[in-house]
């Protein structure tokens, strides 16, 4: 099976390279916003039309010609993807890109042949730790010390700045052999507030309080930011600090997610989970008010996405029950429904009909598992 895997390296730049990279961020933001405003006027503008517009825009705005041209095409693809998400009602109407402490641009690998020789615009030398990027040239990289060769072909590179650090994330297409130990087990998982994950085997994984330290830092910096003059030097400095805290939070989230997901996948063949409303997984500016909830939702989104790709890689089955399935209100013993369980403060399910008393999240995860079994049987009936 072919999978895309990203390798993220820290990169070290000269002053000139840094300037050129900042310029590339700026130019891509400019192009994206320019095309977005044209698209606002004429919605019929296709991806192909937008690509054809690049040379004209380059003539009009000569600075666009000074950077990696391939990255401009990638920005067009990004805008096109944003619109497709909007048309499919997965995302909102694309918004203008603003200056932020976190910036990135992407560039694709292009292979060309000239007089029997093959040329590539992106090169990597893992032994000497050198990455060659179009227009930027050679940069030294750090990370993956033991890796001497990529196990596949490079597809693209995303160059990013996070706070005051720079990274290159190299996307590689790899062939993986799937060998999995089969456990013949099915598990239901509930995403909770007391523990991040509660399984139908009554196992608890991950403490939602992992983010407390970062939350207070973010809140403090946001307060600072609101007092500073927008666009001023200090404002930008605070933005960079804020980005740094968000980066650390993201890494902490990644770590906790990996731990939880690898355990669940190791012990089970079929994993049943709730499906989360994508709109709840909004990006960070929308829900600034409720930081706690926002971080928790992002963590849940992360857990589900990781479950999705890991179960694919490891040949396990992931079943998502409908977001309308009321896993918390049903009694796992007698199937009666108790609407009062909508109240999140009720930590225990007490069934009036059959007398079943069970912890709220465990009841929910058991129901999710039963619903998964039902869907599995139904699916087999339809397919077979």
Please state the closest distance from residue 346 (CB atom) to Zn ion, in A: 15
> Number of residues in contact with Zn ion, rule: CB under 5 A?
7
Task: Identify which range of 110-118, 239-247, 265-273, 351-359 contacts Zn ion by CB under 5 A.
Answer: 351-359
Which CB sits closer to Zn ion, 278 or 334? 334
Question: Whose CA is closest to 301, among 320, 323, 275?
Answer: 275
Please state the closest distance from residue 331 (CB atom) to Zn ion, in A: 3
Please state the closest distance from residue 355 (CB atom) to Zn ion, in A: 7
Chain centre to alpha carbon of residue 284 = 13
Please state the closest distance from residue 328 (CB atom) to Zn ion, in A: 14
Which CB sits closer to Zn ion, 31 or 330? 330
β-bridge partners, 103:
161
Task: Identify which range of 114-122, 276-284, 350-358, 362-370 contacts Zn ion by CB under 5 A.
Answer: 350-358
Task: Identify which range of 29-37, 105-113, 168-176, 353-361 contacts Zn ion by CB under 5 A.
Answer: 353-361
- Rounded-to-integer distance, Cα 164 and Cα 239, Å: 11
Please state the closest distance from residue 290 (CB atom) to Zn ion, in A: 34
Please state the closest distance from residue 333 (CB atom) to Zn ion, in A: 5
Single out the residue of 212, 337, 354, 357 in contact with Zn ion (rule: CB under 5 A).
Answer: 354
Which CB sits closer to Zn ion, 121 or 332? 332
Which CB sits closer to Zn ion, 271 or 366? 366
- 356 touches Zn ion (CB under 5 A): yes
- 351 touches Zn ion (CB under 5 A): yes
Please state the closest distance from residue 213 (CB atom) to Zn ion, in A: 41
Task: Identify which range of 105-113, 128-136, 199-207, 354-362 contacts Zn ion by CB under 5 A.
Answer: 354-362
Q: Which of residues 301-340 bind Zn ion (CB under 5 A)?
A: 331, 333-334
- 352 touches Zn ion (CB under 5 A): no
Q: Which residues would be at the binding site for Zn ion (CB under 5 A)? A: 331, 333-334, 351, 353-354, 356
């Amino acid at each position: 099976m072919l999978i895309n895997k990203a390798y993220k390296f820290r990169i070290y730049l000269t002053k000139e390279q840094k300037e050129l990279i900042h310029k590339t961020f700026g130019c891509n933001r400019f192009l994206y916003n320019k095309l977005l405003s044209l698209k606002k006027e004429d919605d019929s503008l296709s991806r192909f039309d937008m690509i054809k517009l690049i040379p004209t825009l380059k003539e009009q705005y000569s600075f666009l010609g000074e950077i990696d041209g391939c990255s401009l095409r990638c920005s067009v693809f990004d805008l096109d993807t944003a619109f497709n998400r909007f048309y499919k009602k997965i995302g909102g109407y694309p918004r203008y890109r603003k200056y932020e402490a976190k910036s990135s641009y992407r560039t694709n690998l292009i292979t060309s042949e000239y007089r029997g020789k093959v040329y590539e615009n992106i090169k990597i030398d893992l032994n000497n730790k050198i990455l060659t990027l179009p227009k930027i040239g050679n940069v030294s990289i750090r990370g993956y010390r033991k890796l001497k060769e990529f196990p596949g072909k490079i597809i693209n590179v995303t160059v990013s700045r996070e706070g005051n650090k720079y990274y290159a994330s190299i996307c590689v297409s790899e062939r993986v052999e799937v060998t999995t130990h089969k456990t013949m087990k099915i598990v239901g998982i509930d995403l909770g507030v007391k523990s991040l994950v509660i399984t139908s085997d009554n196992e608890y994984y991950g403490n939602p309080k992992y983010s407390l330290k970062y939350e207070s830092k973010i809140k403090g910096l946001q307060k600072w930011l609101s007092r500073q003059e927008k666009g001023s030097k200090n404002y930008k400095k605070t933005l960079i600090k804020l980005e740094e805290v968000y980066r650390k939070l993201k890494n902490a989230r990644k770590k906790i997610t990996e731990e939880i997901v690898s355990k669940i996948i190791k012990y089970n063949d079929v994993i049943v989970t709730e499906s989360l409303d994508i709109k709840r997984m909004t990006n960070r500016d929308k829900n600034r008010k409720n930081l706690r909830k926002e971080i928790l939702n992002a963590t849940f989104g992360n857990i589900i996405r990781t479950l999705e790709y890991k179960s694919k890689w490891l040949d396990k089955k992931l079943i998502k029950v409908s977001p309308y399935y009321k896993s918390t209100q049903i009694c796992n013993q007698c199937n009666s429904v108790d609407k009062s369980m909508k109240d999140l403060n009720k930590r225990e399910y007490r069934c009036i009909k059959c007398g079943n008393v069970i912890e709220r999240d465990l009841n929910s995860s058991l129901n999710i598992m039963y619903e998964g079994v039902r869907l599995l049987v139904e699916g087999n009936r339809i397919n077979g």
